[in-house]
Structure 1
C-alpha cells in the first residue's frame, strides 16, 4: 500500500491537507457506522408496531445485523489486499449508504431484516480499515492525535444517533431515522474519492475459505447464544444446544486449521506480539463498556422515570462531551505515560460504574449527565494509548489484518456484554419482584398504617395493581444497578493488563 507520512518532527501544523481530508473521511465513516448502532434500538418500538411484528420477530433486526458485522469484520485484511484501500472504503461506504436507504423503504419485516444484514456486512470494514489507514498515514508522534479523532468519531456516532434519530422519528416516523444517514454518507464518499487516490495498490492474496467459514460459523453461533439465550431459557432449549455444539466444533476446526496451513485466514503469529495480544484483550473489555450504557439508559429513563425520547437523547449525549473533553489531555498522556493513561481511563470508568450502582429510583438529570460524561471521558483516556501501544510493535504489513482482529474483538465484546447486561437486568428484576411481593399480605402491619398513600391500599384491585407497578419499578432499578456493578468490575479487571505492555517501537 502507498502511504503518505509526514516528517517525524513537528506538531499539528505539519499535517498536510491530504491528511486532514483523510482524517475527516475516517471521522464521517466512523460516525455513520456508529449512528446505526443506536438509531435502530431507538425506533425499535415504532418498527414493531408499523410492521405488525412480535417482540421475538423484531429482535432479529438487531441480532442479524450484529451477526453480519461480526462475520464480515475478519475479511477486512483480505479485501484490502485484493481491492486496495480506496476501492474497499468507497464501495463499503456506498453499500452501507444504499442499504441504510433500503432500511427506510422496507415495507415488510423480511425486507427490513435483509437490508439490516447488508448494512452490517457493508459497514463491518469501516472501523478497522479507517484505523489501519490512519496508522499508516500519520507519523508515530501524531498517531495519538489521529487515534483520538478516530475514536471520537467511533463513539460520537452512537451518541449523535439517538439525538438526530429521535428528532427525525418524532417529526416523521421511524423511516426518517434511516434516511438521515444518506446525506453524510454521500459526503463521506466524496472525501474517500479524493483523499485516498494514492491508496490503490492491490496484491493477489489467496483466500482461505475453510478458515473463513469456520470462524464465521463460530462467531454466529456465539452471538446467537448470548443474544437469544435468555429468551429461550438457555440450554433448556434444543436451539441453544445446537448453537453450542456447532459453534464449538467450528471453533475447533478454525484453530486447528490456522495452526496447520501456510496462509491461514487469520495469522496466529499476530498473537506472538505481546502488545497486540494484550491490546485485543483490552479491546474486548473496552468493547464491553463502550455501548452498554447507551443501550441501558434509554429503557431505564423511559420505563422507570417517564422521560421522552428527546430528553433521553440529550442526556446520553453527555458521553460524547466526555469524549471531546478527553482530547485536551489524552494526547499528552499517551506520549508521556501511556500505561498510566490506560489505568487512569479504566479507573475513571470503574468509579463511574460504582457511583451509578449507588443511585436509586429518584436519580436526577445531573446524575445521568455526569455518569455518562465520566464513562465517555474514561473511555477516550484509555482507548487512545491502548490502541497506539497495541500496534506499536506490529510490523506495518500486518496492521490491516491486525486492525480487523482488533475491531472484531471490540465489537464482540460490545455485543456480548450488552446481552449479559440485559440478562442481568431482566433476571434481577424478576427475582427481586418475586421477593418483594412476598411481603404484600394482609398480615403485614406496615401496609395498614395510616401514613401510606391511599392508592397502596390492599382493599381493591386498582390499588393492588398500583402497588404491583411500583414494586416492579423498584425491582427493575435494582436490576440496572447490578448491571452498573458489572460494568465497574469489568473496568477494574482491565487495569492490571496495562502493566504488561511494552513501549518498543514498531519494526519495519
Structure 2
C-alpha cells in the first residue's frame, strides 16, 4: 500500500475551489474584523452594561490574549483533530460565542465570551491561510497568497467602519449578532469542502509546551494591552506579568527545542528566509495596526470627525488594495524580484505616512484621499510577498506550523505598534504642550489679539467682564489642546514612517534564487 505522504498531491478545482476559498477568506476576515470592530463601540457598551472605562478594556484584552495563544498552536491542533474537524469546530465556537457576546448583560459575562470567541478566532486565521495555500499547486501559490493578503489588509480596516456604523444606527449587540448567519453558513461549507491533510499522524500532546506558551504569550499580550492604562512599570500588576512573560517564554523555548514532539516547531526558524519573513510580519503588524489605530483617533479628536465619517472615508482606500493585489500578482508572474516588490510597497507606505504628517487644522477628507489611495496599493505590495517569504518551500504540517508562528508575530506586532504609539503620543503631547504654553503671554501680540477677540465676543453675547475673560481663557486652552494633539499626531505619523525604513536592511538580507515557479518567492534554504 502506498503511503499517503508519497501519493501525488491533488488540488480542488472549479466551483469546489471557489467555495473553499470564499469560506476560508471569509472566516479569516471575520476573525480580523473582530480584533478591531469593538474598539469604536466601547463607550456605548460601558454605558449600557455599567462598566468603567478601565474595566471595559477587558472586552478587547480578553479576545487578544486568547487569540495570540491559540494562533501558534493551530498547526498542532489541526494535526491532532484533523483539519476539517478543527476548522469547522473553530467556526462553530466563534459563531456561538459571538451570539452569547450579543446576549451578555454584564461586563464579566461579555469578557468571558470574548475570551471564548478569541479561542475560536485564533483557530480560524492560521488554518484559513494554510487551507487557501494548499488549494493551489506550488506554481500557482502566489494566487492563494493574494487572496489571503487581501483579507489581512481588509479585515482590521473594516472593523472600525462596521463598528462605527452599527453603533450609530443599531446597537452594540449587532456587532456580534452579524457574525452568526455568516458563521453558520461558513461552518456548513467548511464541513463539506475542507479536507484533512494527507499523511499526517496524530501528534503527542506537549502539555508543558502549551502551558509555557499560554503563560508567556498571554502575559506579554496583557502587558501590551493594559500597559498604557496602568502606567506601565509603576503598576505592580504589569511588573508581575512582565516577569511571568519572561519566565514563560524562556521555559517555552527551552522546552520546544529539547523534545521531539513540540507543540510549536521552533526548529523551523533554522530556515533563514522563514526567520526573516516572520520578523518582517512582526514589522508589518506594527505598521498596519499602529497606523490604523492612530488615524481614527487623529481625525476624531483633532478634526472632529464622527466614527461613521471616519469609516466611510477609509472605504475607497481599502478598495484600492485590489489594484495593489493585481500589480503584485502581475509583477510576480513576470519574475520581478520579490525584494523590488516589497521595497516598492514599503516606499509607498512611507510616502503615505509622510503626507499625513503635514496635516493642519484646516485639513479635510480631500487632503487625506490620495495618501490612503497610495497606502492601499503599497500595503498589499509589501504584505503579500512577505507572506510568501515566511512560508516558501514548506508544505503540510510544516506549512501549518510556519503560518501559525508568522500570524502570531503579526498579531504581537500589532499590539506592540499600538503600545509604542500610545507611549510616544503620551510623551509627545506633554513635550509639545510645554513648548506651546509660553507663547500665550501678554507680550505676544498674536495670542493677545486671539484672547481679546474671544473676550469681546463673549461680552457682546451678554457675559460680564470676569465671565468673558474666564471663558476666553478656557476656549484658548481648548484650541491649544487641539493644536498640541495635531502636532503630536503629525510627529507620530512621521516617526512610524522613519521606523519603517529600518526594515530595508532586513529586506536586502532575503535570500532569493530565481526558479521556474514565480510563486516560490524565496529559496527555502
- TM-score, normalization by structure 1: 0.92
The offset of 1:381, in angstroms, is 0.7
Q: 1:498 aligns with which of 475, 488, 507?
A: 507
Q: Structure 1 residues 326, 425: CA separation in 2 closer, same or farther (over 3 Å shift)?
A: same
Flag structure 2 segments of 5+ consecutive residues without an equivalent.
Answer: 458-465, 514-519
Q: Secondary structure at the match of 2:313?
A: helix
**1:10 match:** none
Q: 2:480 aligns with which of 471, 477, 489?
A: 471
For 1:151 and 1:395, how far apart are their aligned partners in 2?
18
Q: 1:149 aligns with which of 143, 147, 150?
A: 147
For 1:4 and 1:420, how far apart are their aligned partners in 2?
48
Residues 153-232 of structure 1 correspond to what in structure 2 (within 5 A)?
153-197=151-195, 203-232=201-230
Residues 73-88 of structure 1 correspond to what in structure 2 (within 5 A)?
73-88=71-86
**2:62 match:** 64
For 1:363 and 1:332, how far apart are their aligned partners in 2?
36
Q: Structure 1 residues 322, 453: CA separation in 2 closer, same or farther (over 3 Å shift)?
A: farther
The offset of 1:463, in angstroms, is 1.2
Q: Structure 1 residues 146, 4: CA separation in 2 closer, same or farther (over 3 Å shift)?
A: farther
1:329 aligned onto 2:324: no
For 2:385 and 2:456, how far apart are their aligned partners in 1?
54
For 1:124 and 1:494, how far apart are their aligned partners in 2?
27
1:461 aligned onto 2:459: no
Higher mean C-alpha deviation, range 317-326 or range 119-128: 317-326
The offset of 1:47, in angstroms, is 0.8
The offset of 1:443, in angstroms, is 4.5
The offset of 1:149, in angstroms, is 1.1
The offset of 1:446, in angstroms, is 3.5
Residues 278-317 of structure 1 correspond to what in structure 2 (within 5 A)?
278-317=276-315
Q: Structure 1 residues 450, 132: CA separation in 2 closer, same or farther (over 3 Å shift)?
A: closer
For 2:396 and 2:299, how far apart are their aligned partners in 1?
46
Contact map agreement 1:93 1:188 (CA 8 A) in 2: yes
Q: Structure 1 residues 447, 90: CA separation in 2 closer, same or farther (over 3 Å shift)?
A: same
Contact map agreement 1:38 1:295 (CA 8 A) in 2: no
Q: Structure 1 residues 450, 349: CA separation in 2 closer, same or farther (over 3 Å shift)?
A: closer
**1:381 match:** 381
Contact map agreement 1:342 1:386 (CA 8 A) in 2: yes
- Report the count of equivalent residues: 502
For 1:207 and 1:434, how far apart are their aligned partners in 2?
57
Flag structure 1 segments of 5+ consecutive residues without an equivalent.
Answer: 8-13
The offset of 1:408, in angstroms, is 0.4
The offset of 1:403, in angstroms, is 0.7
Q: Secondary structure at the match of 2:264?
A: coil
For 1:48 and 1:351, how far apart are their aligned partners in 2?
38
Residues 120-135 of structure 1 correspond to what in structure 2 (within 5 A)?
120-135=118-133
Q: Structure 1 residues 276, 246: CA separation in 2 closer, same or farther (over 3 Å shift)?
A: same
The offset of 1:4, in angstroms, is 9.4
Q: Structure 1 residues 395, 178: CA separation in 2 closer, same or farther (over 3 Å shift)?
A: closer
Which protein is bigger by CA-based radius of gyration?
2
For 2:380 and 2:423, how far apart are their aligned partners in 1?
27
Q: Structure 1 residues 121, 201: CA separation in 2 closer, same or farther (over 3 Å shift)?
A: farther
For 1:124 and 1:287, how far apart are their aligned partners in 2?
16
1:175-199 Cα offsets, whole Å, 9 max, x none, are 1122112222222223212221465
For 2:99 and 2:187, how far apart are their aligned partners in 1?
15
Q: Secondary structure at the match of 2:38?
A: helix
Contact map agreement 2:76 2:264 (CA 8 A) in 1: no
For 1:124 and 1:342, how far apart are their aligned partners in 2?
27
The offset of 1:86, in angstroms, is 0.9
Q: Structure 1 residues 254, 451: CA separation in 2 closer, same or farther (over 3 Å shift)?
A: closer
The offset of 1:284, in angstroms, is 0.4
Q: Structure 1 residues 262, 311: CA separation in 2 closer, same or farther (over 3 Å shift)?
A: same
For 1:199 and 1:262, how far apart are their aligned partners in 2?
21
Q: Structure 1 residues 362, 455: CA separation in 2 closer, same or farther (over 3 Å shift)?
A: farther
1:394 aligned onto 2:394: yes
The offset of 1:201, in angstroms, is 7.2
Contact map agreement 1:65 1:117 (CA 8 A) in 2: yes
Contact map agreement 2:72 2:404 (CA 8 A) in 1: yes
For 1:397 and 1:71, how far apart are their aligned partners in 2?
19
Contact map agreement 1:235 1:241 (CA 8 A) in 2: yes
For 1:197 and 1:244, how far apart are their aligned partners in 2?
41
1:234 aligned onto 2:237: no
1:452-475 Cα offsets, whole Å, 9 max, x none, are 642599962211111111111111
- TM-score, normalization by structure 2: 0.89
**1:431 match:** 431
Contact map agreement 1:424 1:482 (CA 8 A) in 2: no
Contact map agreement 1:333 1:341 (CA 8 A) in 2: yes
For 1:366 and 1:188, how far apart are their aligned partners in 2?
38
The offset of 1:95, in angstroms, is 0.8
Contact map agreement 2:131 2:194 (CA 8 A) in 1: no
1:398-443 Cα offsets, whole Å, 9 max, x none, are 1011110011001100111012112222332233223322333344
Contact map agreement 2:35 2:64 (CA 8 A) in 1: no
Q: Structure 1 residues 248, 287: CA separation in 2 closer, same or farther (over 3 Å shift)?
A: same
What RMSD, in angstroms, separates the aligned Cα atoms of the two structures? 2.5
The offset of 1:385, in angstroms, is 1.6
For 1:142 and 1:395, how far apart are their aligned partners in 2?
14
Residues 98-117 of structure 1 correspond to what in structure 2 (within 5 A)?
98-117=96-115
